[in-house]
Amino acid sequence: MSSNAESTSQRYTRSIAAHERRSRVIAGGVNSNVRLMSRPVPLTFTRAHGAMIWDIDGNEYIDYAAGMGPTILGHNHPRVLAAVQQALQSGQCFAGQHELEAEFAERLIGAVPWIENIRIGLAGSDMDLLAVRIAKAVTGRSKVLRFTGHYHGWIDPLLVGPGAAPTPFGTPPVGPGQSVAAASEIVMCEWNDVSLVEQVFATHQIACVIMEPIMCNTGVIAAQPGYIEAVKALCKQHGAVLVIDEVITGFRVGLQGAQGHLGITGDITLYAKAIASGYPMAAIGTSRELMAGVGRGEVNHSGTYNSGYLSVAAAVETMKILVEENPYPSLQKNTVRLVEGLRKVGNSKGLAVDYVAGSLFQVRFGAQEPMQNREHFAKNSDQPKLLKFLDALQDRGVRPTSRGLFFVSVAHDDRLIDRTLEIAESALASL
Ligand SMILES: Cc1ncc(COP(=O)(O)O)c(C=O)c1O
């Protein structure tokens, strides 16, 4: 074993032991497949506060994984914590309604005025499922157009096999155990090519088009100017529903998400992550008309844990803070400082930083130009080098997501950003 490998395994001794223990009783030692990607093993954490997180070996990290996006206010924001502590006194699961539901809905609709009606669910995947179900119900059609490199949860009506290429005229590949029948209702297009979407509409009866308005699940890739507008026009022309999946971008890119930033609106919007500071909650927002079938009980949306009291209390408080304190200008300023600092220390080493808006960005090794789609990204992302860089960052106390996405929170202050830049420089020098 090299001395480097030795010092790495020493640094993570307890995490390695904890992973071995878990792996005997929990498949892969994790409870979400995404976490399998963590190195040297999926780490075990003991606590998180503000912008920091600590693992079981006592290692401290500046946390840019941010719960995979939710902790926009930092971990355990004191106001959210107080709201949840107060809610704890009242119970959690009522199999019935409570007053915080309307308060959350009114606040969301107040912030995002093109939404008239919502439903609350547990996770982004639930809301993606409901969006597709509503679109199929109102159009009477079965096909869904989605884009390569975007992600809409782990559910069969939207999940395709890893690396699935655009197949506008065939069924996309699926992973073991996934429904081929469900996949036959998915039509794939490469992102940022209107002519492909036109071809699909000319040849299929499409119920809905679903997209991340800024592609955040394969790099961070902007839509070309006019692209979303053109897709929206095609949806309108052909009577299809446009679903904007703002599970990552909602309340993170700004109070009105990517749609507010881009000046576009879809027919259905999906929220999760940043709406509830890490407590399990998601929401779907749309018109009263599109939601009518759900309200009448014809289009099924159910769930024992939907709108749990603690989660909605966390979401109401998160929403209040985001509206009252408007952290977005300073979040963006800090994010841009970090992006520009990384470019300064990293460009000569081949590091590219993809930033579009708000408080998230992607690092990769490849061409500096903005990426256009999944294929372009794949050709311009040296994965082995990225993994070495991410390992070196982690060993030095900086933790982005395991694919190089950084989420900045209000707790990432100037001092932590400066420290991150010093660590990044040292990590790059070690490659
Ligand atoms: C854009 C997008 N949609 C949907 C989902 C699924 O959300 P969840 O993991 O809460 O089910 C994710 C998860 O990362 C996502 O990034």
Q: Is 376 in the pocket of ligand 1 (CB under 6 A)?
A: no
Q: Decide if 316 contacts 104 (C-beta within 8 A).
A: yes
Considering only CA atoms, which residue is closest to atom 13 of ligand 1? 153
Q: In this structure, are 90 and 200 located in the same domain?
A: yes
* Closest ligand 1 atom, residue 217 Cα: 16
Q: In this structure, are 128 and 114 located in the same domain?
A: yes
CA dist 40 and 131 (Å) reads 37
Number of domains within the chain = 2
CA dist 391 and 368 (Å) reads 22
* Closest ligand 1 atom, residue 212 Cα: 1
For residue 402, which of 419, 387, 423 has the smallest C-alpha distance? Answer: 387
Mutate to test the pocket of ligand 1, among 35, 122, 125 (most ligand atoms within 8 A of CB): 125
Q: In this structure, are 120 and 94 located in the same domain?
A: yes
Residue 415: CA atoms inside 13 Å, Cβ hemisphere, count?
A: 3
* Closest ligand 1 atom, residue 150 Cα: 1
**CA 217 to centroid of ligand 1, rounded, Å:** 9
Q: In this structure, are 13 and 147 located in the same domain?
A: no
Considering only CA atoms, which residue is closest to atom 16 of ligand 1? 248
CA dist 172 and 185 (Å) reads 9
Mutate to test the pocket of ligand 1, among 146, 151, 268, 311 (most ligand atoms within 8 A of CB): 151
Burial class for 291, CB neighbours closer than 10 Å (0-12, 13-18, 19+): buried
* Closest ligand 1 atom, residue 123 Cα: 10
The predicted structure's pLDDT at residue 6: 58
Q: In this structure, are 34 and 146 located in the same domain?
A: no
Residue 83 belongs to domain spanning: 78-325
Residue 282: CB partners within 8 Å, gap ≥ 6? 120, 121, 122, 123, 124, 126, 127, 247, 270, 271, 272, 275
**CA 264 to centroid of ligand 1, rounded, Å:** 21
Q: In this structure, are 17 and 137 located in the same domain?
A: no
Q: Is 55 in the pocket of ligand 1 (CB under 6 A)?
A: no
* Closest ligand 1 atom, residue 68 Cα: 14
Considering only CA atoms, which residue is closest to atom 3 of ligand 1? 152
Considering only CA atoms, which residue is closest to atom 9 of ligand 1? 124
CA dist 374 and 220 (Å) reads 10
Q: In this structure, are 371 and 266 located in the same domain?
A: no
The predicted structure's pLDDT at residue 9: 73
Which of 279, 306, 325 delimits the end of a domain?
325
**CA 124 to centroid of ligand 1, rounded, Å:** 5
Phi, psi of 83 (to 5 degrees): -65, -40
Q: In this structure, are 23 and 155 located in the same domain?
A: no
Q: In this structure, are 34 and 62 located in the same domain?
A: yes
Q: Is 124 in the pocket of ligand 1 (CB under 6 A)?
A: yes
**Positive or negative, the Cα torsion across 374, 378, 384, 390?**
negative
Q: In this structure, are 316 and 239 located in the same domain?
A: yes
Q: Decide if 42 contacts 32 (C-beta within 8 A).
A: no
Q: In this structure, are 366 and 241 located in the same domain?
A: no
Q: Decide if 260 contacts 283 (C-beta within 8 A).
A: no
Considering only CA atoms, which residue is closest to atom 7 of ligand 1? 124
21-41 exposure pattern, b = at least 16 Cβ within 10 A, e = fewer: ebeeeeeebbeeeeeeebebb
Where does 177-246 have alpha helices with state H? 180-183, 194-203, 227-238
The predicted structure's pLDDT at residue 161: 80
Q: In this structure, are 92 and 51 located in the same domain?
A: no
Map residue 385 onto helix, strand or coil.
Answer: helix
Which of 301, 325, 349 delimits the end of a domain?
325
CA dist 153 and 295 (Å) reads 24
> What is the CATH classification number for the domain harbouring 273?
3.40.640.10
**CA 112 to centroid of ligand 1, rounded, Å:** 20
Which tens digits make up the pLDDT trace of 91-147? 999 999 999 999 999 999 999 999 999 999 999 999 999 999 999 999 999 999 999
**Positive or negative, the Cα torsion across 226, 231, 232, 237?**
positive
Q: Is 247 in the pocket of ligand 1 (CB under 6 A)?
A: yes
Mutate to test the pocket of ligand 1, among 132, 150, 152, 220 (most ligand atoms within 8 A of CB): 152
Q: Is 246 in the pocket of ligand 1 (CB under 6 A)?
A: no
Which tens digits make up the pLDDT trace of 298-352? 999 999 999 999 999 999 999 999 999 999 999 999 999 999 999 999 999 999 9
Tens digit of each residue's pLDDT, the chain (431 residues): 344 555 777 999 999 999 999 999 999 999 999 999 999 999 999 999 999 999 999 999 999 999 999 999 999 999 999 999 999 999 999 999 999 999 999 999 999 999 999 999 999 999 999 999 999 999 999 999 999 999 999 999 999 887 676 666 678 888 899 999 999 999 999 999 999 999 999 999 999 999 999 999 999 999 999 999 999 999 999 999 999 999 999 999 999 999 999 999 999 999 999 999 999 999 999 999 999 999 999 999 999 999 999 999 999 999 999 999 999 999 999 999 999 999 999 999 999 999 999 999 999 999 999 999 999 999 999 999 999 999 999 999 999 999 999 999 999 999 999 999 999 999 999 99
Q: Is 190 in the pocket of ligand 1 (CB under 6 A)?
A: no
Which of 306, 325, 344 delimits the end of a domain?
325
Q: Is 153 in the pocket of ligand 1 (CB under 6 A)?
A: yes
CA dist 63 and 51 (Å) reads 6
Q: Decide if 242 contacts 231 (C-beta within 8 A).
A: yes
> What is the CATH classification number for the domain harbouring 37?
3.90.1150.10
**CA 69 to centroid of ligand 1, rounded, Å:** 10
Query: Count of CB atoms within 10 A of residue 308's CB?
Result: 22
